[in-house]
Amino acid sequence: MNGARRFATLGAASGGLAVVAGAFGAHALRGRLAPDMLAVFETAARYQMYHALALLAAGWLAERSAVWAGRAGTLFLTGTLLFCGSLYALALSGVGWLGAITPFGGLAFIAGWICLAVAAARDNTPN
């Protein structure tokens, strides 16, 4: 599977999982989690959805700038795992040290957006 298709597939799957997580938080966790932990869970689902869409963009741009779009997609995946994963785990477990992982995911997201901007700005089309 090429990079464009891989990131589009992972973006679509991540978007679907974000919808599931959001529904799970709204229905199954309401009343079971403290309001602040429910807010943490909802933040994770929201950021997962944003970056699922970003993965779709990376897949689309991989046709034009495979290297930079590939870097962006990899960073968005890394950010989703570290940022969203640590917030989901924190909300569900209450283990506070998991919050220390979250900023690394945020840095991956920021770097991913920079790479996506470079991919969008580059013109690698044949003359």
CA dihedral defined by 9, 58, 5, 17, rounded to 10 degrees? 0
Domain of 15? 3-121
The DSSP call for residue 101 is T
Tokens 């785990």 belong to residue: 89
pLDDT for 123: 67
Q: Is residue 88 part of a domain?
A: yes
pLDDT for 127: 45
pLDDT for 3: 77
pLDDT for 54: 98
Whole-model pTM: value is 0.93
Alpha carbons 92 and 45: distance in angstroms, whole number: 13
What's the number of domains the chain is made of? 1
Q: Is residue 26 part of a domain?
A: yes
Q: Is residue 91 part of a domain?
A: yes
CA dihedral defined by 76, 82, 87, 90, rounded to 10 degrees? 170
Q: Is residue 126 part of a domain?
A: no
Q: Is residue 50 part of a domain?
A: yes
pLDDT for 4: 86
- Per-residue pLDDT of the chain (127 residues), as tens digits, is 787 899 999 999 999 999 999 999 999 999 999 999 999 999 999 999 999 999 999 999 988 888 999 999 999 999 999 999 999 999 999 999 999 999 999 999 999 999 999 999 986 655 4
Q: Which residues does 70 contact at the CB level (< 8 Å), separation at least 6?
A: 3, 7, 58, 62
Alpha carbons 16 and 32: distance in angstroms, whole number: 23
The dihedral of CA 110, 111, 113, 117: what is its sign? positive
The dihedral of CA 52, 107, 72, 123: what is its sign? positive
